[in-house]
Amino acid sequence: MFNVEKIRDDFPILSKNVYGNPLVYLDNAATSQKPRQVIDALVDYYENYNANVHRGVHTLSMEATDKFEEAREKVATFINSESSDLVVWTRNASEGLNLIAYSWGEDNVHEGDEILLTPMEHHSNLVPWQELARRKNAVIKFIPMRENGTLDMDKVDDLITERTVLVSAVHMSNALGTINSVRELGKKAHQQGAKILIDGAQSVPHMPTNVQELDCDFLVFSGHKMLGPTGIGALYVKRDIL
């Protein structure tokens, strides 16, 4: 049987009372609380390993560097990346999206090109593309939604054309909970020579994510939405893009 109290015991903040009652926290889609194991790991780092990473030859620096790269290996394994050198550390998913827009986007999006989004996107996966389209005189299009809150996939073939350079879609909506068919979107994008970017901020914490199976070109997600610390995220990039 699922032991709720045992799980709650892992989270120190849940011992707090609010208005005379035990705290009930339901905003994990925004940010998750941190279990004792994560808090202890942070304390352990600052008490035993704190030093510049990849910037020294003394013992602490080398130990910190080893921890840094071990974490990258674990993330790569977690998403089934073929190699850890395809995982880029970011501060969060939003920074990852901006990094793609202001690096890959600047070099690969040109006047008249089209970027295909969904109406479900978080502003972090909307505003960078709006700004890029404004600078490049490109066009943003949206996949329409059905009344039941899912994407109208029947319209996708008409929307992805030879002018499409990128399809950027949330895997799991933070507002609706809808799980989008990003693998199918990726296949259709690749057929036209476009790239597929997946916003995994909500999906990676809650469902298995296999970047090789998804065949995505980019994937972004945040640590703070999956019981990790604030200020850490990851960007996966397919090797032929790096």
Of 13, 34, 65, the last residue of a domain is 65
- Give the C-alpha separation, 70 to 63, whole Å: 10
Residue 185: in which H helix or E strand, if any?
Answer: helix 182-191
Q: How many domains does the chain have?
A: 2
pLDDT at 23 over 80: yes
Q: What is the pLDDT at residue 2? A: 83
pLDDT at 33 over 90: yes
pLDDT at 31 over 80: yes
- Among 186, 218, 240, 206, smallest CA distance to 87 is for 218
| Pair 160, 206 in one domain | yes
What CATH number has the domain bearing residue 216?
Answer: 3.40.640.10
Residue 217 corresponds to which amino acid? D
Contact 118, 143 (CB under 8 A): yes
| Pair 95, 48 in one domain | no
Contact 125, 97 (CB under 8 A): yes
The answer to whether residue 71 sits within a structural domain is no
Q: What is the pLDDT at residue 1? A: 76
| Pair 61, 149 in one domain | no
The answer to whether residue 119 sits within a structural domain is yes
The answer to whether residue 190 sits within a structural domain is yes
| Pair 34, 145 in one domain | no
Contact 75, 209 (CB under 8 A): no
- Give the C-alpha separation, 39 to 46, whole Å: 11
Q: Report the percentage of the chain scoring pLDDT > 90.
A: 98
Residue 187, domain extent = 79-237
pLDDT at 215 over 90: yes
Model confidence, pTM:
0.96
| Pair 32, 94 in one domain | no
Residue 96 corresponds to which amino acid? G
The answer to whether residue 158 sits within a structural domain is yes
- Give the C-alpha separation, 173 to 192, whole Å: 25
- Give the C-alpha separation, 184 to 187, whole Å: 5
pLDDT (tens digit, 9 = 90+) per residue, 95-143? 999 999 999 999 999 999 999 999 999 999 999 999 999 999 999 999 9
- Give the C-alpha separation, 87 to 235, whole Å: 6
| Pair 52, 97 in one domain | no
Q: What is the pLDDT at residue 193? A: 98
pLDDT (tens digit, 9 = 90+) per residue, 53-91? 999 999 999 999 999 999 999 999 999 999 999 999 999
pLDDT (tens digit, 9 = 90+) per residue, 178-192? 999 999 999 999 999
**Mean pLDDT to the nearest integer, 150-154:** 98
